[in-house]
Structure 1
Amino acid sequence: MKTLKLRIKDKHVKELNQLSGSVNFVWNYVNALCFEHLKRTGEFFSAYDLSQYTKGSGEYLGLHSQTLQAINETHAKSRKQFKKAKLNWRTNRPDAKRKSLGWIPFKKSAIKYLHTRQTGKKALKSTIRLSLSKGDKLIINVFDSYNLSLYQINTLEIVQDSRNRWYACITVKDYPKQVSGTGSVGIDLGLKEAATTSNGEKLIPKQTQKWAHKLATAQRAKNKERVKAIHAKIKNTRLDLIHKFTIKLVKDNALIVVGDVKSRSFTTKKTKLAKSTYDAGWFELKRQLEYKCKHAGCHFEIVNEKYTTQTCSYCHKISDSSPKGRTGLGIRGWTCAECGTWHDRDINAAKNILAVGLDRLAVGIPSV
């Protein structure tokens, strides 16, 4: 199973806002019903029990019967997951203090893919028909970067972001799988360069620093829309750079080994590195590598990176000239006192991380 996120054209905003209001109405009704039943009997309603109370209401709210079922199932699942007697209310009123982002679920029988057409040299737009109540249909156009004609659609959820843009989150089956390469690579995670491979390739997102001045100007002017736009630009650019970096790694390699550095070690008040750490996107990088390797049949390992920066990748010894501790963070290149080999700090660490991963595989030790 795989999820594709596609932008919906803005001409559908009015219809989607109306439908999300109906979804919120059903959610709040179910939420109140479950809480009152719990107080009276001490038991929770299941999704099947809730469907008995919402049955037939779709024709008055403009929602498909399976959309109502999806709302009931999501509510029951969320209540059980978060162990709460009552969940938060949902509202999309503009004057609300706490506005909920829009959400409209659809199941397989209410979705029909129509066609995909080319609108430029590379751009594609796809059309999907969604069933509503009393035979009503909603036809939406999406900017298709995946070519939906190659996929089998399973479910679809329409969601809204903080900038009032709508997206179709489509779960698919029988999708074309990527084939991995034959090489092997180690990756050292850092702050100056977010990731450095044993082959010498480097990932440098640093979008927060790039947009810091414009973001500060918009915040001082209290221009909320501009602030949201800049944050979205930072997020999308960082994701794009990480996607391109991870796709290339999976295409070229059959084994990818990453150090086990964790973000929370660098986000305390003592380190003063929180902004740089979050800007590096280590968690997102490892998350993408994990699922892309799984889909492509590539082996992904997370190993202990202790002493990988200090150890010479040529003679495998820790010399007096190697960078050590916080005082050695400024040393970006060094020469091994034992064998005389010059090393780039991050590339040397990535080579040692790869060696650790290969050693673990050789003796059959499972991933960390």
Structure 2
Amino acid sequence: MLQHKAFKFRIYPSHVQIMQLRKTLGCCRFVFNHLLAKWRHTYQVTGKGLSYNACASQLPDMKREWSWLKEVDSIALQSAVRNLADGYQRHFNKQNYLPRFKSRKHPVQSYTTRYTNGNIAVKENRLQLPKLGWVPYAKSREIEGRILSATVRLAPSGKWFVSLVCEVDIQPLPLTDRILGIDVGIKYLAVPSEGPAMDNPRYTLRYERLLTKWQRILARRKQGGSNWSKAKRKVALIHERIRNSRLDAMHKQTTKWIRENQTICLEDLRIANMMKQRHLAKHIADASWGEMSRQLHYKAKWYGRTIKETPVFAPTSQTCHVCGYKQAEVRDLSVRGWTCVSCQTPHDRDWNAAQNIKAMAQ
């Protein structure tokens, strides 16, 4: 089955290429902000916004008025217009807030270009991008399928990355009859109904002292100076290391679960509401349960697996998976083990919840 799959690599542009990349980022930001202002003005006057075609038709006039827009990739400018139209469409579908003006001071900058007439190509350890030429990249794996688009991104750490979206023929994995229930937590990141529990590496706590040190150094330095910029980049590198470590562990475990099980049962958590508990918010954010669920969902779609979820607020921890008796005292998170008063079965809190998730989701 044909699926869209992204391949992310770090690129190493030259000084001239970096100047061209920054110019492209600035032009895309200018086009987005200019058309966003026109969209808002039109909506205030007429009560109706602008369509994508109405915005895209203004690009030729903008290039005549500001000739420097011709120096960058034209498809990247069109993608900026498409992002604006998609932002308003998602807002009207109540999926996000209204689009806002882009700032050059935002820590993450990116633009997207699409494959047209061979403008994006890969040869050995070099990558060709429109208006940029050949750029060396860290070839960590082979690129599969047909290239559809490329997104160039400037990370807060100052590194440049490219994400190639390709159309890949992904074959489903062989069928199996195994069903797995997964209970997520903080002490253990995940406790499956079968197999060993996944330890919580707590990467944020691991780098907390180093992060605190450099954040204090950053706070003491004058904003905008060269030493301030160095400290800011150091803080971004520490955050990047935390994120990469977390994603690496998550990808390895979710891929293992997908390969071994046909059906995976999860909890339908309201993570945003759980983050309001100030004593647990940092640990919940570090656990990254939402990222685990996201990876399991798209990998299941790729490889022909099934994801099922329990109903919201299902008492998976409080219910005995043997007799079904509900013991309300187990709501206290400090209760890690308990004995059912009905059938006298001893339970581990997380493993019992995993068994209930497996049964309730089915």
Report TM bin, short chain. Answer: 0.7 to 0.9
Q: Partner letter of residue 267 of structure 1?
A: M
Counterpart of 2:223 in structure 1 is: none
Q: How does 1:237-316 map to 2 (within 5 A)?
A: 237-269=245-277, 272-304=279-311, 306-316=314-324
Aligned residues: 333
Q: Which residue of 1 is the match for residue 119 of structure 2?
A: 111
> 1:1-368 counterparts in 2 under 5 A?
1-12=3-14, 14-25=16-27, 27-29=29-31, 31-32=33-34, 35=37, 39=41, 42=46, 44=50, 46-54=54-62, 61-78=70-87, 81=90, 87-91=100-104, 98-99=105-106, 101-109=108-116, 111-116=119-124, 126-132=125-131, 138-148=133-143, 150-177=144-171, 179=173, 182=176, 183-203=178-198, 204-222=200-218, 223-269=231-277, 272-304=279-311, 306-318=314-326, 324-326=330-332, 329-358=333-362
Q: Is this contact kept in 2: 1:104–1:158, CA < 8 A? A: yes
Q: Which amino acid aligns with 1:157?
A: T
> How far is 1:153 from its partner?
0.7
1:332 aligned partner, one-letter code: R
- Distance between the aligned counterparts of 1:39 and 1:333, measured in 2? 61
Identity of aligned residues (%): 24
* Distance of 2:31 and 2:281 partners within structure 1: 42
- Give the whole-Å Cα distance in 2 for the aligned partners of 1:349 and 1:36: 53
Distance 2:172 2:339 in 1: 40
Gaps of 5+ in 1: 92-97, 117-125, 359-368
- Cα 1:206–1:27, aligned 2, differ >3 Å: closer, same or farther? closer
Assess, with a 3 A threshold, how the Cα gap between structure 1 residues 138 and 226 changes in structure 2: closer, same or farther. Answer: same
The equivalent of 1:122 in structure 2 is none
SS in 1 for 2:262: strand
Using the TM superposition, give the Cα deviation of residue 252 of structure 1 relative to its aligned residue in structure 2, in angstroms. Answer: 0.6
Indicate conservation of the 8 Å contact 2:184/2:191, yes or no. Answer: yes
Aligned partner letter, 1:103: S
Residue of structure 2 equivalent to 1:365: none
DSSP-derived class of the 1:179 partner: coil
Where structure 2 has 5 or more consecutive residues not aligned to the other structure, the ranges are 219-230
1:34: Cα distance to partner?
Answer: 6.2
Partner of 2:221: none
Contact 2:84–2:99 (Cα < 8 Å) also in 1: no
Mapped contact 2:317–2:331 kept (Cα < 8 A): no
Deviation digits for residues 213-267 of structure 1, max 9, x if unmatched?
2222222222333322221111111111111111111101110001123223332
What is the TM-score normalised by the length of structure 2?
A: 0.79
Letter in 1 for 2:358: L
Query: Given that residues 243 and 288 in structure 1 are in contact (C-alpha distance below 8 angstroms), is that contact kept between their aligned partners in structure 2?
Result: yes
